[in-house]
Structure 1
Amino acid sequence: MTTDGILARLNKASAAEDFFSLLGVEYDAKIVDVARLHILRRMGQYLAGEELTGASDPEIAARCKATLERAYADFVTSTPIEQRVFKVLKDAAAPQANKHPALVQLDLLE
């Protein structure tokens, strides 16, 4: 795996498959077809927790590879709906406020 300017190369990637190829991560196309954006979003979440400042390019490439493998593994055993990476899915699972006000007996009103 060539690691010269890996972050620049990843930044230019236009498809999930490009990320897998650049980082040398094997994948099942069926899983990527269903969860491509979810996998990349999760990878970004994991990378946000990494401190890459001052790291060498090979080290950055290795850490990016590890985060992609970890993100991909999340969706091998689970679905995008279960993982709820995107806000719209999180909101769909959030408890809904009671849309119906409490009933008030008319004879209690003055």
Structure 2
Amino acid sequence: MQGVIQQLRQLSSAEDFLRFFGIVFDEKVVNVSRLHIMRRFLQYIEQEKELPPDDATAALSIYRSLLQNAYNDFVVSTPAEQKVFKVFQEAAGRHVVSLENLRASLPARDGV
């Protein structure tokens, strides 16, 4: 299993990972969503309960499937819709500040 981990450590880009696992990909999708794909891949790995500790072939098969799923998420959807990163998660729950609250937060002006 250490050999698999060493191989994965040599990879540095989303394209490297996709090529390593033999996943056919659209460069346009990767150009727009590379960080999101890799973050989703990590999320899927963290959710995986049954990674075989002593079977590198099985582990690689599972990792390939998880990366394929992560890539597919962004083929059919956008990063904003998938909300992988916190900035997108918070954008969905927009906070509205009323004009009165803004006025109340301003320091008092003399003579106005």
Could you say which TM-score interval applies, normalised by the shorter chain? 0.7 to 0.9
| Corresponding residue SS for 1:10 | helix
- TM-score, length of structure 2 as denominator length: 0.78
Task: Extract unaligned runs of 5+ from structure 1.
Answer: 103-110
Residue of structure 1 in register with 2:110 after alignment = none
CA distance in 2, matches of 1:80, 1:30: 13
1:95 deviates by: 4.1
Residue 20 of structure 1 aligns to which amino acid in structure 2?
L
1:21 deviates by: 1.1
Matches within 5 A, 1:3-14: 5-14=3-12
1:60 deviates by: 0.7
Q: Deviations over 1:5-26 (max 9, x none)?
A: 2222222211111101111111
| Corresponding residue SS for 1:5 | helix
Name which of 19, 24, 27 aligns with 1:26: 24
User: Is contact 2:52-2:59 (8 Å) kept?
Assistant: no
What is the RMSD computed on CA atoms of the aligned residues? 2.0
Task: Extract unaligned runs of 5+ from structure 2.
Answer: 102-112
Residue 16 of structure 2 aligns to which amino acid in structure 1?
D
Residue 91 of structure 1 aligns to which amino acid in structure 2?
E
Residue of structure 1 in register with 2:13 after alignment = 15
CA distance in 1, matches of 2:51, 2:58: 9
CA distance in 1, matches of 2:66, 2:19: 14
Residue of structure 2 in register with 1:64 after alignment = 63
Residue of structure 2 in register with 1:44 after alignment = 42
